Homo-oligomer: A and B are copies of this chain.
C-alpha cells in the first residue's frame, strides 16, 4: 500500500509505536541505525520522523535522539490537521458507522447561500442533509453543498455510502486541503429532530464549517457539521514554532 519509501518507514514506525514496541519516553533507534535498517538515505528517514513529530508521536532532541511520547487515547476522537471522512475516522477508532441521507436536492446559489457557503452566486449545487451514526447513535447532522460541475453524477445512493470514495476512486478527483472553522452555536429544531438532544440539557452544539479544495484549486465543497455536544471530541497536536 505505501507508495513511497518514506511512507513505508513512517507507517512501520507508527505501527511499532502504537503496538508498544517502545516504552513511553524511550528513545527510538538513531537515524544512522534506521538508515541501515531500512537501507535508505538520511533524508528519507528524517522525513518519516518529521511526520511522526507532526502527529505528536515523538519529539526530536538535538544531540540526544528521538523520544517516544505516544499515549493511547482514552476516548475516540476526530483529528485536526488531516482530512478524514466520517467512515475513515470511525474505522480508526474501531467503531461502527452508518449514514442516512435525509435530504437530497439540487439548487442554484442565491445571494444568501453564496454568502453562507463561499460559492459564487448562480453556482449549480447539490445540497444534502445527512445524519451520521456511530455505534447506533446519531452524532452529527451534516449540511453538504457540492459544486455540481466538479462533482457530476452524485446520487442519493452514493451519499448513503462514502462520497469521498466516489470522488477519489470514481471521479479520480484529488482532494487537497480543507479550511475549517470550529464554533459553538445555538441548537435548532432541525438539530433536535435528528440528533435527539434534550434542550434542557444542552441548548447548543459544536459546529465545524469547512471549505474544501481539490487539486485544480477549485473549492468544490462547503460543509457545516453540527455535532452533538456530549459526544463532540476533537484532538490536535500543536507544535511551538521556534525561529
Residues of A in contact with B (beta carbons under 8 Å apart): 1-4, 7, 25, 53, 56, 59, 61, 67, 69, 71, 77, 80-83, 174-184, 186, 201-206, 210, 213, 215, 217, 227, 229-230, 232-243
Q: Within 8 Å CB of A71, what residues of B? A: 179
Known contacts A61-B215, A204-B203, A180 near B235 by CB under 8 Å: yes
B181 touches A242 (CB 8 A): no
Known contacts A83-B239, A203-B204, A232-B184, A217 near B25 by CB under 8 Å: yes
CA distance A71 to B80 in the complex (A): 20
Q: Within 8 Å CB of A234, what residues of B? A: 181-183
A181 touches B235 (CB 8 A): yes
Name the distance in Å between A101's Cβ and chain B's nearest Cβ. Answer: 23
Name the distance in Å between A123's Cβ and chain B's nearest Cβ. Answer: 16
A203 touches B203 (CB 8 A): yes
CA distance A183 to B205 in the complex (A): 10
Known contacts A80-B81, A202-B203, A204-B229, A236 near B180 by CB under 8 Å: yes
Whose C-beta in chain B lies nearest to the C-beta of A7? B243
B59 touches A213 (CB 8 A): yes
B237 touches A177 (CB 8 A): yes
Known contacts A82-B241, A181-B77, A235-B180, A206 near B206 by CB under 8 Å: yes
A178 touches B59 (CB 8 A): no
B177 touches A4 (CB 8 A): no
Known contacts A1-B243, A179-B56, A217-B67, A238 near B174 by CB under 8 Å: no
Known contacts A69-B213, A204-B203, A204-B204, A243 near B180 by CB under 8 Å: no
**What are 5 A-B pairs with beta-carbon distances under 8 A?**
A69-B213, A80-B238, A179-B238, A181-B236, A182-B206
Q: Within 8 Å CB of A239, what residues of B? A: 81-83, 176-178
Whose C-beta in chain B lies nearest to the C-beta of A206? B184
Q: Within 8 Å CB of A232, what residues of B? A: 182-184
Q: Within 8 Å CB of A213, what residues of B? A: 59, 69
A205's partner among B83, B174, B184, B238 (CB-CB below 8 A) is B184
A238 touches B83 (CB 8 A): yes
